Amino acid sequence: MRLTCPLCGPRDRREYSCLGAEDYLNRPGAGAAPEAWDAYLHLRDNPAGRARDLWYHEGGCREWLLVTRSTVTHEVFAVELVAGRSGAAE
Amino acid sequence: MAELIAKPVFAGQGPLEKAGLTLEPLPSGPIWLVALYPGAAARAAKLLKPLGLSFPEPGRCSSADDLRLIWAGRDQAFLLGAAPPEGLTDTAALTDQSGGWAGLSLSGPGVEAALTRLVPLDLRLREFPPGRAARSLLNQIPALILREDETRFAIRVPRSMARSAWADCALALERLEARAER
Ligand SMILES: [Zn+2]
């Protein structure tokens, strides 16, 4: 498996580590209800098909990446930087 | 501040020659991480210009004599060979990492054949010409890899893993030589 880092180019899977679902980008506000925190921490879809996951380019540029890929065919549709997305910390 | 006694990383380690290639320690020198502040690229460019350097694009290295400015990440680069110029503190966060790295030089005709055994990148000349650089892995060691010229790579690894990196490179040369002897 290879992911094309927007900065580094196509790189071997060994250079990356996977954190998990995109949900980690959507942290509830400080005053959010316990249900929102429960969902944020524990509730995940388990899609057969398109999934959006956070990957860390640990063996390369150290950027967090948002990877859209198919869990069925392993096709990778998009790899985007998390930095610079709206709402991302500078 | 107390001046501590610096111990060389590869104390007493001479060059290793095998398979027509040479593995040798690189002399240690200043290494600074230059992390640009948001919107400071133009000002940094002005300060780097008198040194003959420009802030590198991803995967590139800007060189002037013994100075190297190697891309290290988004708006980040490693400056090798000198302390950052006066005034750069206003445009970038600067970290002296000189003691944190160890360098190896691997050189000789067909040097890619050895490095390809360790690094998951296409290092052939046409894909990775002189001036190209990459942060990648040397076996499992995070490494900063720079092609200095057609037959020479400079590899920098965290100092704590220097001897493992040396051993990995030495083993690659040994196996390459064994293959050539058959
Ligand atoms: Zn990368």
Distance from CA of A68 to the nearest CA of B (A): 21
Judge whether residue A60 has pLDDT over 90.
yes
The CA-CA-CA angle for residues A61, B28, B164, to 5°, reads 65
Residue B9 covered by a domain: no
Task: Provide the sign of the torsion angle of the four alpha carbons B143, A7, A25, A3, taken in this order.
Answer: negative
Q: Does A88 touch chain B (CB under 8 A)?
A: no
Q: Ligand 1 centroid vs B11 CA: distance in angstroms? A: 34
Residue B11 covered by a domain: no
**Nearest neighbour of A12 by CB, restricted to B72, B73, B120:** B120
Residues of the domain holding B46: 31-96
Q: How far apart are CA B174 and CA B9, in angstroms?
A: 22
Instruction: Pick the last residue of a domain from B78, B96, B114.
Output: B96
Sheet containing B92-96, strands listed edge to edge, beginning at the edge strand earlier in sequence: B61-64, B67-73, B76-80, B31-36, B92-96
Name the residue with tokens 């490693």. B78
Distance from CA of B162 to the nearest CA of A (A): 17
**Nearest neighbour of A59 by CB, restricted to B59, B74, B142:** B142
Q: Are residues B105 and B83 in the same domain?
A: no
Residues in chain B within 8 Å Cβ distance of A88: none
Q: Are residues B62 and B118 in the same domain?
A: no
Q: Does B39 touch chain A (CB under 8 A)?
A: no
Are the Cβ atoms of A61 and B72 closer than 8 angstroms? Answer: yes
Instruction: Pick the last residue of a domain from B40, B70, B96.
Output: B96
**pLDDT for the residue numbered A38:** 95
Q: Ligand 1 centroid vs B4 CA: distance in angstroms? A: 36
pLDDT in tens, B35-90: 999 999 999 999 999 999 999 999 999 999 999 999 999 999 999 999 999 899 99
> A54-83 burial, b if ≥16 CB within 10 A, otherwise e?
bbbbebbbebbbbbebeeeeeeeeebebbe
Q: How buried is B165 (Cβ within 10 angstroms: 0-12 exposed, 13-18 middle, 19+ buried)?
A: buried
Are the Cβ atoms of B134 and A81 closer than 8 angstroms? Answer: no
Judge whether residue B6 has pLDDT over 80.
no
Q: What does the domain layout of chain A look like in residue ranges? A: 2-26+33-81
Residue B64 covered by a domain: yes
Segment 43-82 of chain B within 8 Å of chain A by CB: 58-59, 72-74
Instruction: Pick the last residue of a domain from B52, B76, B96.
Output: B96
Q: Are A63 and A19 in contact (CB under 8 A)?
A: no
The CA-CA-CA angle for residues B158, B162, B166, to 5°, reads 140
All residues at 6 or more sequence positions from B173 whose CB lies less than 8 Å from its CB, including other chains: B16, B18, B19, B21, B23, B114
Q: Does A62 touch chain B (CB under 8 A)?
A: yes
pLDDT in tens, B119-172: 999 999 999 999 999 999 999 999 999 999 999 999 999 999 999 999 999 999
Are the Cβ atoms of A8 and B134 closer than 8 angstroms? Answer: yes
Question: What are the distances in angstroms from CA B144 to CA A59, B66, B125?
Answer: 10, 17, 17
Number of domains in chain B: 2
CATH number at residue B113: 3.30.1360.120
pLDDT in tens, A15-58: 999 999 999 999 999 899 999 999 999 999 999 999 999 999 99
Judge whether residue A90 has pLDDT over 50.
no
Q: Are residues B121 and B166 in the same domain?
A: yes
Question: What are the distances in angstroms from CA A59 to CA A18, A56, B102, B140?
Answer: 12, 9, 17, 9
Instruction: Using CA atoms of B20, B168, B125, B142 in order, give the dihedral in degrees to the nearest 10.
Output: -160
pTM over 0.80: yes
Q: Ligand 1 centroid vs B77 CA: distance in angstroms? A: 14
CB atoms within 10 A of CB B91: 21
What interface predicted TM-score (ipTM) does this complex get? 0.88
Q: Does B127 touch chain A (CB under 8 A)?
A: no
Average pLDDT of chain A to the nearest whole number: 93
Q: Are residues B38 and B88 in the same domain?
A: yes
Select the residue from A2, A4, A5, A7 to test the B interface by mutation, using most B Cβ atoms within 10 A: A7
Q: Are residues B86 and B103 in the same domain?
A: no
Residue B5 covered by a domain: no
Residue B107 covered by a domain: yes
All residues at 6 or more sequence positions from B76 whose CB lies less than 8 Å from its CB, including other chains: B33, B34, B35, B36
Q: Are residues B118 and B176 in the same domain?
A: yes
Residue A16 is which amino acid? Y
Kindly state the average pLDDT of the residues A4-13: 96
Q: Name the class of domain A2-26+33-81.
A: alpha beta
Nearest to B172 by CA among B125, B138, B137, B130: B138
Q: Are residues B24 and B37 in the same domain?
A: no
Q: Where are the alpha helices (DSSP H) in chain B?
A: 41-48, 112-115, 162-181
